A = this chain, B = another copy of it.
Amino acid sequence: MTQADVKELYERIPKHIGVADFIIFTDEGVKIESSFQDEETFKYRKEILQFALTSRAAIQDIDPNNELHYLRVRSDRREYICIPRDKYFIIVITLPDKIQELKKMGVDKKDK
């Protein structure tokens, strides 16, 4: 992924309905972009990036020919989607209930 790819991603992600926040890290935990303040970003690095890296390693241990495509963690109000891309990890936090509501109203893109 080039710098331009990261920039394009940074502009495209928020246009999807129901996206509350997102972070782009290198897989060494360096923050590239984040919609959060630093304190929250570093909490996500400690929690979500950590187990995203663990899950990537677990997949490789179970089947070395298998690669992690993505990881989705659904909780009551949010869904955390972690997508590895080259040496980056993209973490997107969505609001599933809001997405459903908007889809019922026939809305599929944020108008911005």
Total chain A interface residues with beta-carbon distance under 8 A? 28
Q: Is the CB of B74 within 8 A of A61?
A: no
Q: Any chain B CB within 8 A of the CB of A50?
A: yes
Q: Is the CB of B50 within 8 A of A75?
A: no
Task: Report the bound CA distance from A48 to B62 in whole Å.
Answer: 9
Q: Is the CB of B74 within 8 A of A69?
A: yes
Copies of this chain, tallied across the complex:
2
Task: Report the bound CA distance from A84 to B107 in whole Å.
Answer: 32
Q: Is the CB of A75 within 8 A of B63?
A: yes
Residues 69-80 of chain A, each 1 if its beta carbon lies under 8 Å from chain B, else 0: 111111111101
30 pairs, A vs B, C-beta closer than 8 Å: A43-B62, A47-B58, A47-B61, A47-B62, A48-B58, A50-B58, A51-B54, A51-B55, A54-B54, A55-B55, A59-B73, A59-B75, A59-B80, A63-B75, A63-B77, A63-B78, A65-B76, A66-B77, A67-B75, A67-B76, A68-B73, A68-B75, A69-B74, A69-B75, A70-B74, A71-B72, A71-B73, A71-B74, A72-B72, A72-B73
